[in-house]
Amino acid sequence: MRKTVFKKLEAQGLIANYNRFRKNLPPKLPKKVFIWDETLREGEQTPTVFLTYVEKVKLAKMMDEMGVAIITVGFPGFSEEEKNNVRRISNESFQQASIAASARIIRSDIDACLGCGIQEISIFTPFNRLNLRYRLKMTKEQVLEKTVDCIEYAKKHGVIVNFVLEDASRTPLPEILQIFEAAVKAGADRLVIADTVGFLRPLSMHYLISRIREGLSQLINKEIPFSIHCHNDFGLATANTLAAVEEGVTYPQTCVAGFGERAGVAPLEEVVAALEILYNVDTGVDLKKLYRLSQLAEKSFALPIQFHKPIVGENVFSHESDKHIHGMLAHPLIYEPFPPKMVGRETMFYLGRQTGKHLVENRLALAEIKATPRQIDEIVRRIRRTQENLDKGTMQMTFYQIKKLQREMQKGLTEEDFWKIVEQVTKQKPQLKMNY
């Protein structure tokens, strides 16, 4: 459908599509990619978010149904409850998706994953000096030894092993190549480059991935698939993910609606729609189910998706301005980049302060009502007046009440609750007031 729509417009000379210009086609762009979704792990790291088992299963089932290739369902080493949930999800029937879980470079984490019966284990660690000194408190040699040991241990149990280099985007290239070489020689099936704090620009992403691939090809005599995991701290997660795919990365990682810690990660719907529509790359995902999936995620996370969120936001295919509506009535693609039906949406026209005669005339014609130009002008005036006469103060008060309620839902435990638990467990009262 997407090819037919745009090719007809191009053939008629009605639009120029610079995305199809030969000079703009990345030479390393793959024909197909495999969407790897992290909503049930990374997404649940969104502050104060908690997903029930039923919610996790519903989300995983829908992603499987729509063609997501890999679904990370949790981190079994975190707690017994998490381990039980991962085990139960892995025992569900999935038609297309491979089920994965995460582990640190600790054997007990690997055992927790193996005990869940999952198909893939993503073993993660950072390797730059910042993390070695302040977080891991280990030497490079110790991290290399543990990484190799855990990968070999997991491979002996017959699972697919993905090696995830955390904070790769701030790790010197020689160190990246050193640990990637060790991971591949230990048996890693895929390598994941993580821009953990969203620090790269697209051109920097191009540079980093090309250098990693060039350097690694000189160290190992083997083609290894790459994955990319981009955070959105500067609003560049989608752009950086697409830049990585342009360099030949075939496993982009995403979260539904961009949920995740801090500013979140690359949104599934943005990455999929861009690859399918702008790049003509096959993602294997049914675009028509993107909106329904985002609605299920919004409900499960109890977090509102912003109205102007690309692809799945409520306002993305909505119009009120008379100028825009006039264009839309002439041809829908004048003010929409692609038919909303492609992603399970529909165009919406709003009546309000920006309403003009074109929408009114259209509505009256559909209802077979005849009106004089003067009557149409009067209808338009009354619509605008109704909107302008709304009590803005009441609207703002309601809005702030909603925001306050949302903050109450998201605040988690209070400091008082925390210290009560500490006192109950330790039988000791805090001597100092702690400020965080």
Q: What is the DSSP string of 338-369?
A: S-GGGGT---EE--STT--HHHHHHHHHHTT-
Domain residues for the domain of 331 are 318-388
Quick: pLDDT tens for 90-145. Answer: 999 999 999 999 999 999 999 999 999 999 999 999 999 999 999 999 999 999 99
Quick: pLDDT tens for 140-198. Answer: 999 999 999 999 999 999 999 999 999 999 999 999 999 999 999 999 999 999 999 99
pLDDT-derived band of residue 413, with 50, 70 and 90 as boundaries? confident
- pLDDT above 90 covers a percentage of the chain that reads 84
- Distance from C-alpha of 153 to C-alpha of 150, rounded to nearest angstrom: 5
Question: Residue 433: inside a domain, yes or no?
Answer: no
Average pLDDT for the chain: 94
Residues 242 and 343 in one domain: no
The secondary structure of 174-202 as a DSSP string is HHHHHHHHHHHHHT-SEEEEEETT----H
- Residues in CB range of 27: below 8 A, 6 or more apart: none
Structure tokens belonging to residue 44:
């649940």
Number of domains in the chain: 2
| pLDDT at residue number 432 | 66
* E runs forming strands in 14-64: 36-37
Residues 215 and 355 in one domain: no
Residues 32 and 102 in one domain: yes
| pLDDT at residue number 412 | 79
Residues 380 and 263 in one domain: no
Question: Residue 435: inside a domain, yes or no?
Answer: no
- pLDDT above 70 covers a percentage of the chain that reads 98
Residues 48 and 162 in one domain: yes
| pLDDT at residue number 387 | 83
Residues 147 and 221 in one domain: yes
Question: Residue 267: inside a domain, yes or no?
Answer: yes
Residues 292 and 330 in one domain: no
pLDDT-derived band of residue 3, with 50, 70 and 90 as boundaries? low
Which of 377, 135, 116 lies closest to 124, judged by CA?
135
Q: At what angle do helices 53-66 and 290-301 cross, to 10 degrees?
A: 170
Quick: pLDDT tens for 13-57. Answer: 889 999 989 888 999 999 999 999 999 999 999 988 999 999 999
pLDDT-derived band of residue 322, with 50, 70 and 90 as boundaries? very high
Residues 173 and 266 in one domain: yes
Top-confidence residue, 399 or 300: 300
Question: Residue 370: inside a domain, yes or no?
Answer: yes
Residues 245 and 143 in one domain: yes
For residue 386, what are the β-bridge partners?
Answer: none
Residues 77 and 188 in one domain: yes
| pLDDT at residue number 14 | 87
| pLDDT at residue number 168 | 98
Q: Is the pLDDT of residue 435 over 70?
A: no
Residue 374, helix vs strand vs coil: helix
| pLDDT at residue number 80 | 96
Domain boundary among 266, 301, 336: 301
3-state secondary structure 254-273: EEHHHCCCCCCECEHHHHHH
Question: Residue 224: inside a domain, yes or no?
Answer: yes
The CATH number assigned to the domain holding 20 equals 3.20.20.70
Residues 233 and 344 in one domain: no
Residues 373 and 237 in one domain: no
